[in-house]
Amino acid sequence: MAKSAPASAGRVALVTGGSAGIGRGCVEALVGDGAFVAFCSNQAEEGRQLEAALNAAGPGRALFIEVDCRNATDLEAAVNQTLSFGSNRLDWLINNVGTHPDHAPIDHFSLDDLRSLMELNVYSAFSLTRLCLPHIRASKGAIVNISSLVAVIGQHHAVTYVITKSAISGFTRALAIDEAVHGVRVNAICPGAVHTPLLLSNANSLAAEGGGGDTTEDQLARYASDSLFNRLGSIEEIGAACLFLCRWATYCTGIELPVTAGVELAKPMKTN
């Protein structure tokens, strides 16, 4: 009996910030389901290593593109390379790239700090979406934006980051309304604490801010204890959510999917 093609065979995706962390989880999930996935970041060595590993494993294909996602010319070039890679087709865009500054009260952030963070976390998604939409409309595809649980519940000493993720969530809802007429679905993932290099950096910042002898490991344990499962999430779990929203969630648009192990629920409800 002939082996059936992978579910996402023939689909083409573009993922920003795809060489590490949550972006990597999304790239791996989509390639693993048979898609052709272009992914970009400014980490060339890391990106090329992932490209080689994914192309060796299949069943889909991967293309790494070195990009500064704050640069409009770079983004336009990335879209053109993706279209060449995918035979002039684009089905899915995953706006993932972003960073989280060290924790500090608002007094420690300048207006320029906020502008710089907005450029990476928000403006890049807006700019790239505008470039990709004509092609995604043609394929009646999907956009997945990586927001955050903190867009809903806030976060201690992270006002600039929360502003950017709240913007991504609002962008998702507004764009979903506009693009429904074109058959394009627009959804967001709101991760909780996921074990990534960025979370490690975040934990380092909190440990240093605390001044009470807490270590990075103490902070990671605190993140884990906030979830109903008493553990951190994995990039593979976010990748699975991304694949669901791209491939299977054909009656979902404008949603923010929490992948949090219940962190947002009241802590007294925990039973373990």
Q: Report the 10 Å Cβ neighbour count for 268.
A: 6
In this structure, the chain runs to a length of 272
Which residue type does 93 have? Answer: L
For 221, the 3-state DSSP assignment is helix
CB 191 within 8 A of CB 148: yes
Torsion sign (Cα): 107, 108, 112, 116: negative
Candidates 123, 161, 223, 251; catalytic one:
161
Distance from CA of residue 260 to its chain's centroid? 14
Cβ neighbours of residue 153 under 8 Å, at least 6 residues apart? 264
- Asked if 251 is an active-site residue, the reply is no
**Separation of alpha carbons 104 and 223, rounded Å:** 18
Catalytic residues: 161
